[in-house]
Amino acid sequence: MLKWIRWSGLTGFIVVAGLLVCFWAFAAGPLIKMAIESFGSDAVGAKVEVEDVSFGFSPLSLNIRGVQITDPDAPMTNMVSFETAVANIEPFPLLLGQAIIPELSLEGVAMGTPRSVSGAIAKAKKPKEEDEKEDKPKAETGEAKADAKSSELPSADDILAREKLLTVERGEALETAYQQHSTAIEQAVADLPTESDIKQYEVKLNTILKGKFESLDDFKQRKKALDELKAQFKKDKQAIAAAKSAIKNGKSDLKQKWSDLKVAPKQDLDNLKSKYTLDGAGASNLTALLFGGDAGGYAATTLEYYEKIRPLLVDEEAKAEKEALKEKRLEGRFVTFPTDRPQPDFWVKKLTFTMSLPQFKGQPSLGQVAVNVTDISHQQDVVGQPTRLFANGVNLKNIQSLKVTGVMDHRQSPGKDVFDLQMEKWDLDKVKLGLAGLYMDEASAYAQGGVTFSQGKMDLSSNILFKDTTFSTKDRTMLAKEMDAALDKVSRFNVEVSADGKVTSPSMNIRSDLDKQLQSAFNDRIDEKQKELEADLKKKLNEKLLGYAGNYESQLKDMNLAEGNLSDATKKLESLAKSEMSSYEDQLKAEAKAKADKEAAEAKAKAKAEADKKKKELEKKAKEKLKSLF
Amino acid sequence: MLSMLAKFLKLLNGDAAPGQVAVGFAFALFWGLTPFFSLHNLIILLVVFITRTNLSAFFLGSALWALIAFLVDPFAIDLGEWLLASPDLQTTWTTMYQSDVWRAFKFNHTLLMGGFAISLVAFIPVYFLSFGLIKVYRHKVMAWFEKLKITKILKASKFYRVYEKLEG
């Protein structure tokens, strides 16, 4: 039996296998580090840095240290960073290229930590037009609708700076149109004859028309020159017509745009009044003014993080492409059988970490939250489970309990992500509100809410109950005093926040029974404030209009002047063009006639002289005969 | 291609034991007819290395079977589908599927299962057929072949130079 064994082959095989293991032990760590940094940076769009990657063999585990994931929107800040990550790995699936991680635990997790060097990477800029196009001003009426980022205290300057004004838009359109027409007119005017050109035409015309033709050639040359001059006149007249047309079009367009601009301030004022109304019916906006800024800010931050994380968890496009490819290729397929041990390409069965809660209004962190995420995979259809999130507050300061749960279910398309929040007794202390220098000195907040994301849209509803509230203000204005007095009577109130629409630009609604409590107390003061605001807005909008008006008047004057100059030039050219030249034949005929007339006159004079001479001779003879008779 | 044919003839005309060459061709079935990056191929390689299998026959045979696999693959996939869907074998497959080790062998891949089944069935026939053909070739065909006029012409050709190079 032993004669069948090739000992050298066995030795060679063991040596090769040993070399492979050694390579894996020493080179795999740096290779994985490079892979994480390279693919991670590509996926995030900013630098992903890893300090060190090492392997443990019993059990097979991966230890990653010092990971910093840069925030692509703020390259000097880390979106997420952690000190260590320990991942247990199942060895056999790794042979199939599948990373199955039963447990991944992170330590030292932090969000928004500063970086010592910029984490920006060069990349092609993505156009933002689509989002910008969709950010149209929303004129909401009736119930309090306030954009997530538009619920600050409304001063006239703030509103004018924040809102997209028709006055500015149309004013800019007028200026742009003037620039375009000016260019067109300048081009047309450049083709026109100048004063000196017209004088030269007169000189040429005089040269052509004055004096006798020396010969037939002379006549022909002059005729040719005259024809050329007339062709030039024709060309010049066409250029003048084109210039006139350009000026006419420009004037007409500018007049239309000016008419539109004149009515824009009124339309702007109407829009702004409906959006920022503080009258009795819309007094619920007060809640949005008080809390909208913070709510909008936190919502925006949360949504930004959600948008960054979502593509890393689920890549539906890649899944669809993979499915399409599977059908085309003749390479066989994997048949699946019922199992409680599914194997996707990547699967973190359990991720645990603890992180600090973000700071609130400059106060120290509210404590920590222990996060537990299960079944992280981009192939949830294979895993058969959605990704679930459980977060519980630990070592909380001023909060009795905090729970966040989430289910990100992408087993079927379209996927759906659902998050719920429950918070008990958050003791608030000196919370600055967004109006009249108001502070909520004390309150206990109880919040519960849920948000669903699906197909790029969100639907959020939440309820926050404020109990045992006390308020104060340092402002000495009438509004501040009145609000403070009214709020003294309020010990508890409820705030309902809801949002829906696209994840990138949700529309947020904030309602509260606080509004009802304060409504009657504020109607008078708010009316007054509203009038002041309206007057201020009107004044500033009119100032903008006047700014454009000055330009328009001078632009119109320039165009009228140019039009007058063109009319003069046209008249001169028409007068020159009427000049005609007689033919050489006519000149010869005239000369022959003059010669014949001259000869006839000479003959006539000669005949007359002879007749006179004969007459004198006859008279002389007659006299002599008479003398002889007497 | 010429080089490959020359290698093949050198192998046939050499003094390697017919059994070792035949078993090389038979093992080559697995490498040629199943997807290359599979765990069972590593085991086949181990077996080939530690037994006195003719390595030239194995690698040459692998290349030849891989060419034939282009024709066989559709049939292998169908066979794999049929085997993996067979109701009588469902319990076996399901049990195996619960094991990470078996999954690492990709037994549930249709092409691998079909190719492996064909290789397994064909292993003994290919061994005996190769063994017999090599013996017949060496004892009868080779001597007769040497005497042919065409062989003499071939010996003056480029092909023979390639063959000679390998021989030398």
Q: What is the mean pLDDT of chain A?
A: 76
Query: Is residue B146 in a domain?
Result: no
Residue B79 belongs to domain spanning? 18-134
Q: For residues B4-30, give the mean pLDDT.
A: 82
SS (H, E, C) A385-430: CCEEEEEEEECCCCEEEEEEEEEEECCCCCCEEEEEEEEEEEEEEE
* A137 has a pLDDT exceeding 70: no
Chain A residues whose CB is inside 8 A of the B87 CB are none
Coil, helix or strand for A88?
strand
Q: In whole angstroms, give the CA distance from residue A489 to residue A469.
A: 10
* A144 has a pLDDT exceeding 60: no
Q: For residues A56-77, give the mean pLDDT.
A: 85
Q: In whole angstroms, give the CA distance from residue A522 to residue A290.
A: 14
Residues in chain A: 630
Q: What is the pLDDT of residue A439?
A: 80
Dihedral angle of Cα B18, B23, B24, B28, to the nearest 10 degrees = 140
Q: Which of A53-57, A420-424, A492-496 has the highest mean pLDDT?
A: A420-424
Residue A314, by phi and psi: left (phi above 0), alpha (psi -120 to 50) or beta? beta
Q: For residues B21-38, give the mean pLDDT.
A: 92
Q: In whole angstroms, give the CA distance from residue A559 to residue A248.
A: 9
Indicate the pLDDT class of residue A305, thresholds 50, 70 and 90.
low
Q: In whole angstroms, give the CA distance from residue A563 to residue A188.
A: 12
> What CA–CA distances, in Å, run from A531 to A5, A160, B23?
102, 16, 101
Q: What is the pLDDT of residue A328?
A: 41
Which residues neighbour A315 within 8 Å (Cβ) at sequence distance 6 or greater? Answer: A378
Q: Name the nearest CA neighbour of A575 among A45, A205, A162, A35.
A: A205
- DSSP symbol at A114: B
Chains A–B, number of C-beta pairs less than 8 Å apart: 79
Indicate the pLDDT class of residue B109, thresholds 50, 70 and 90.
very high
Residue of A nearest to B49 (CA): A9
Helix (H) or strand (E) holding A380: helix A380-383
Q: For residues A21-41, give the mean pLDDT.
A: 82
**8 Å CB contact between A403 and A393:** yes
Indicate the pLDDT class of residue A114, thresholds 50, 70 and 90.
confident
* A108 has a pLDDT exceeding 50: yes
Q: For residues A594-621, give the mean pLDDT.
A: 88
Q: For residues A133-160, give the mean pLDDT.
A: 46
Query: Is residue B108 in a domain?
Result: yes
Indicate the pLDDT class of residue A141, thresholds 50, 70 and 90.
very low
**8 Å CB contact between B145 and B151:** yes
Q: Name the nearest CA neighbour of B19 among B97, B135, B107.
A: B135
Helix (H) or strand (E) holding A431: strand A416-432
Q: For residues A469-489, give the mean pLDDT.
A: 76
Dihedral angle of Cα A525, A531, A534, A536, to the nearest 10 degrees = -90
Beta bridge pairs of residue A70:
A78
Burial A531-562 (b: 16+ CB within 10 A, else e): eebbeebbebbeebbeebbeebeebbeebeeb
User: What are the φ and ψ backbone dihedral angles of B98, each rounded to 5 degrees?
Assistant: -75, -10
* A147 has a pLDDT exceeding 50: no
Chain B residues whose CB is inside 8 A of the A13 CB are 45-46, 49-50
Q: For residues B66-92, give the mean pLDDT.
A: 93
Chain B residues whose CB is inside 8 A of the A93 CB are 100, 103-104
Residue that wins the pLDDT comparison between A148 and B82: B82
Q: What is the pLDDT of residue A279?
A: 40
Coil, helix or strand for A467?
strand
Q: In whole angstroms, give the CA distance from residue A384 to residue A374.
A: 12
* A306 has a pLDDT exceeding 70: no
Q: What is the pLDDT of residue A151?
A: 36
Q: What is the pLDDT of residue A360?
A: 59
- DSSP symbol at A102: S
Chain A residues whose CB is inside 8 A of the B45 CB are 13
> What CA–CA distances, in Å, run from A257 to A171, A172, A346, A539, A588?
8, 10, 60, 21, 65
**Inter-chain CB proximity B84 and A12 less than 8 Å:** no
Query: Is residue B10 in a domain?
Result: no
**8 Å CB contact between A156 and A537:** yes
Coil, helix or strand for B166?
helix
* B94 has a pLDDT exceeding 90: yes
User: What are the φ and ψ backbone dihedral angles of A83, each rounded to 5 degrees?
Assistant: -80, -50
* Bond preceding residue A127 cis, omega within 30 of 0: no
Residues in chain B: 168
Query: Is residue B27 in a domain?
Result: yes
Chain B residues whose CB is inside 8 A of the A336 CB are 97, 108
Full-model pTM: 0.51
Chain A residues whose CB is inside 8 A of the B85 CB are 335
Express as a percent the part of chain A with pLDDT over 70: 76
**Inter-chain CB proximity B49 and A337 less than 8 Å:** no
User: What are the φ and ψ backbone dihedral angles of A342, each rounded to 5 degrees?
Assistant: -65, 155
Indicate the pLDDT class of residue A303, thresholds 50, 70 and 90.
low
* The one-letter amino acid at A338: P
Query: pLDDT per residue over B113-150, tens digit each?
Result: 999 999 999 999 999 999 999 888 888 777 777 777 77
* A354 has a pLDDT exceeding 60: yes
Q: What is the pLDDT of residue A316?
A: 57
Q: For residues B80-98, give the mean pLDDT.
A: 94
Q: Name the nearest CA neighbour of A88 among A112, A59, A109, A51.
A: A59
* Bond preceding residue A414 cis, omega within 30 of 0: yes
Q: For residues A340-350, give the mean pLDDT.
A: 83
**8 Å CB contact between A452 and A444:** no
Q: For residues A5-25, give the mean pLDDT.
A: 84
Q: What is the pLDDT of residue B28?
A: 94
Alpha-carbon gap: A26 to the closest alpha carbon of chain B (Å): 23
Q: Name the nearest CA neighbour of A541 among A277, A251, A273.
A: A273
Q: What is the pLDDT of residue A293?
A: 53
A195-209 and A513-577 are packed helices; what angle lies between their axes, rounded to 10 degrees? 20
Query: Is residue B7 in a domain?
Result: no
Q: Name the nearest CA neighbour of B22 among B53, B49, B45.
A: B53
* A4 has a pLDDT exceeding 80: no
Q: What is the pLDDT of residue A297?
A: 59
* B164 has a pLDDT exceeding 70: no
Query: Is residue B155 in a domain?
Result: no
Rg (CA), chain B: 19
Which of B49, B55, B95, B106 to mutate to probe the A interface, most A CBs <10 Å?
B49
Query: Is residue B94 in a domain?
Result: yes
Q: What is the pLDDT of residue A128?
A: 47
Burial A378-402 (b: 16+ CB within 10 A, else e): bbbebbebbbebebbbeebebbeeb
Q: What is the pLDDT of residue A117?
A: 85
Q: For residues A378-390, give the mean pLDDT.
A: 87
User: What are the φ and ψ backbone dihedral angles of A429, each rounded to 5 degrees?
Assistant: -140, 120
Query: pLDDT per residue over B48-70, tens digit each?
Result: 988 988 888 899 999 999 999 98
What ipTM did this prediction achieve? 0.80
Q: Name the nearest CA neighbour of B24 among B46, B50, B56, B68.
A: B56
Coil, helix or strand for A147?
strand
Q: In whole angstroms, give the CA distance from residue A53 to residue B142.
A: 61
Q: Name the nearest CA neighbour of B37 among B98, B104, B102.
A: B104
Beta bridge pairs of residue A509:
A145, A498
Give me the residue from A6, A96, A331 closest to B111, CB to CB: A331
Q: For residues B25-38, give the mean pLDDT.
A: 92
- List Cβ<8 Å contacts ≥24 apart for A379-383: A379/A319, A379/A344, A379/A345, A379/A346, A379/A347, A380/A314, A380/A409, A380/A410, A380/A411, A381/A319, A381/A410, A381/A411, A381/A412, A382/A336, A382/A342, A382/A343, A382/A344, A383/A342, A383/A344, A383/A347
Query: Is residue B154 in a domain?
Result: no
Q: Does A124 contact chain B (CB < 8 Å)?
A: no
- Into how many domains does chain B fold? 1
Helix (H) or strand (E) holding A453: strand A438-454
Give me the residue from B46, B97, B110 closest to A332, CB to CB: B110
Q: For residues A376-392, give the mean pLDDT.
A: 88
Query: pLDDT per residue over A387-398, tens digit each?
Result: 999 999 988 888
Q: What is the pLDDT of residue B41?
A: 92
**8 Å CB contact between B13 and B142:** yes
Indicate the pLDDT class of residue A472, thresholds 50, 70 and 90.
confident
Chain A residues whose CB is inside 8 A of the B100 CB are 90-93, 341
* A145 has a pLDDT exceeding 50: no
Which of B53, B103, B107 to mutate to probe the A interface, most A CBs <10 Å?
B103
Residue B152 C-alpha from the chain's centroid: 31
Residue that wins the pLDDT comparison between A11 and A538: A11
Q: In whole angstroms, give the CA distance from residue A351 to residue A425.
A: 28
* A12 has a pLDDT exceeding 80: yes
Q: What is the pLDDT of residue A312?
A: 56
Q: What is the pLDDT of residue A276?
A: 59
> What CA–CA distances, in Å, run from A256 to A169, A452, B159?
14, 48, 90
**8 Å CB contact between A501 and A148:** no
* The one-letter amino acid at A484: D
> What CA–CA distances, in Å, run from A499 to A455, A459, A473, A563?
15, 6, 30, 57
Q: Which of A129-133, A240-244, A550-554 has the highest mean pLDDT?
A: A240-244
Q: For residues A154-158, give the mean pLDDT.
A: 64
* A115 has a pLDDT exceeding 90: no
